[in-house]
Amino acid sequence: MYRLTSEQDVRAAQVRQLPALETLITDRHSILGLIGNTPLLRIRGDETHDVQSHVYAKAEWFNPGGSVKDRAALSMIRHALRTSLLTPGKALIDATSGNTGIAYAMIGSALGYRVVLALPGNATGERKQILRAFGAELLFTDPLTGTDGAQLHVKDLVAAHPDAYYYPDQYNNPENWKAHYETTALEIWQQTKGRVTHFVAGLGTTGTFVGTSRRLKELNPAITCIAVQPDSPLHGLEGLKHLATAIVPGIYDPGLADEQLTVSTEESYAEVRRLAREEGLFVGVSSGAASAASRMVGARERTAVVVTIFPDGGARYGSEHFWNQQEEV
Q: Which helix (DSSP H) or strand (DSSP E) does residue 265 occupy?
A: helix 265-279
Choosing from 286, 287, 291, 294, which is the catalytic residue? Answer: 286
E strands, the chain, in order: 40-43, 54-59, 91-95, 115-120, 137-141, 165-166, 198-202, 224-230, 259-263, 305-310
Residue 180 · residue 208 · CB < 8 Å: yes
Q: Among this protein's residues, is 69 annotated catalytic?
A: yes
- Strands 137-141 and 165-166, how do they pair? unpaired
34 contacts: CB under 8 Å, gap ≥ 6: 28, 63, 64
Rounded Cα–Cα distance for residues 178 and 182 (Å): 6
Counting every residue written for the chain, the total comes to 329
CA–CA gap between residue 125 and residue 86 (Å, rounded): 29
* Annotated catalytic residue within 69, 90, 178, 241: 69
For the question of residue 67 being annotated catalytic, the response is no
Which burial class, exposed, middle or buried, applies to 148 when counting CB atoms under 10 A from its CB (0-12, 13-18, 19+)? middle
Cα–Cα nearest to 247, from 170, 301, 322: 170
What is the H or E stretch that residue 20 is in?
Answer: helix 7-26
Q: Can you tell me whether residue 308 is helix, strand or coil? A: strand
The stretches of 67-124 forming alpha helices (DSSP H) are: 69-82, 99-111
Q: What is the bridge-based pairing of β-strands 40-43 and 54-59? A: antiparallel
Show which residues are catalytic.
69, 286
